[in-house]
Amino acid sequence: MAWFSKTKTLKAPEAGVKGASQAASLWQKCDACGEVIYTQDWERHWNVCPLCGQHDPLPIRRRLELVLDLDSFQELDGELRPQDPLGFADTKKYKDRLRSVAKNSGLAEAFVSGTGLIEGRSVSVGCFAFEFMGGSMGSVVGEKVARVFDRAFELRVPAVTFSSSGGARMQEGVLSLMQMAKTSAALNRFRAVRKPYVSVMLHPTTGGVAASFAWLGDVIIAEPKALIGFAGPRVIEQTIREKLPAGFQRAEFLREHGMIDAIVKRSELRQKLGQLLALLS
Q: Report the interface residues with Zn ion, using CB under 5 A.
A: 30, 32-33, 49, 51-52, 54
Name which of 30 and 125 has its Cβ closer to Zn ion. Answer: 30
Output the smallest distance, CB 48 to Zn ion, in A: 9
With respect to Zn ion, which residue has the nearer C-beta, 210 or 227?
A: 227
Instruction: Please tell me the distance from the alpha carbon of residue 17 to that of residue 15, in angstroms, as a whole number.
Output: 6
Could you tell me the CA-to-CA distances from 60 to 2, 129, 132 in Å, in that order?
Answer: 36, 6, 10
* Least Å from the CB of residue 70 to Zn ion: 29
Tell me how far, at minimum, the Cβ of 32 lies from Zn ion, in Å. 5
Closer residue to Zn ion in complex, CB, 24/170: 24
Residue 59 Cβ vs Zn ion, minimum distance, rounded to whole Å: 19
Q: Which is nearer to Zn ion, 52 or 235 (CB)?
A: 52
Q: How far is the CB of 56 from Zn ion (least distance, A)?
A: 9
β pairing state of 197-205 and 159-165: parallel
Gap between the Cα atoms of 47 and 256, Å rounded: 26
HSE (CB half, 13 Å, CA atoms) of 237? Answer: 9
Select 29 or 61, whichever has its Cβ closest to Zn ion: 29
Identity of the residue, 30 or 177, whose beta carbon is nearer to Zn ion in the bound complex: 30
CB of 31 to Zn ion, least distance (A): 8
What are the angstrom distances between the C-alpha of 56 and each of 59, 203, 210? 10, 9, 20
In the complex, least distance from residue 226 CB atom to Zn ion, rounded to whole angstroms: 16
Burial of 11 (0-12, 13-18, 19+ CB in 10 A): exposed
**Cα dist from 182 to 149, 167, 237, whole Å:** 11, 15, 30
Measure Cα distances from 97 to 29, 30, 93, 103, 118 in Å.
Answer: 31, 31, 6, 10, 35
- Cβ proximity to Zn ion: between 53 and 173 the closer is 53
Contact, 188 vs 212, CB < 8 A?
A: no
